[in-house]
Structure 1
Amino acid sequence: METLAYRFEHGSRALPAQAQVVGVVGSGNLEVLIESAPLNGACAIVIKTAAVGFGATWEAVMRDFHERWQLADTRIDINDMGATPAVVSLRLDQAVQTMLGDEA
């Protein structure tokens, strides 16, 4: 297992207070836990993955996600069992859309 951590400053979109879990950890999939947290406008992401050595790919996917959503005061935990970058992006978008509801 590898643990990766990313922090993106100066987000502009706050999420509601409730936490959400999206996805299921299993062969080739992942789960995303997303919640509001007092982070001075930042978005902090921690990834625990079974796919060791893909830090550059994870960073690119996380940067793309942050550029798309610009989340502020948000903590995201990802538990991964080998999901592809497309599935990671889909699950992250699904988590934000679930929290935002009609605002998304």
Structure 2
Amino acid sequence: MQQRETRTPVANSTVVLKRNANTAEQCEYQIINISRGGLCFESHDNYELNEVVQVSVVIDKQTMHSASGRVCYRTQTTDRNTTCYGLSFLDCFIDADLIRRRNKEAGPVITA
């Protein structure tokens, strides 16, 4: 039986994305949730499905994971001002236990 992957909301976390490895241009977004194989983030910017980007996951102002990623889904938010994007890690998975431990240390996630 295959175990379902757990998605964990994370506090004080962002994802830094670079569209082109040859430029210094990068954008930072709030992470909504994260799992071993990818994450969900919210953005005002437009990303195309299957677009490949360089990913750095930042938790408590420390880079915790770097990988290539692929935009695998997008969902318009209810307020229509932002879009939620799903991002799959392509070349290495994140240590989900590390995320859960750091999340417990930070306390419960409070959303407005």
* TM-score (normalised: structure 2): 0.27
Question: Of the two structures, which has the highest relative contact order with CA contacts closer than 8 Å and spacing of 6 or more?
Answer: 1
Mark the structure with the bigger radius of gyration: 2
Question: More strand per residue: 1 or 2?
Answer: 2
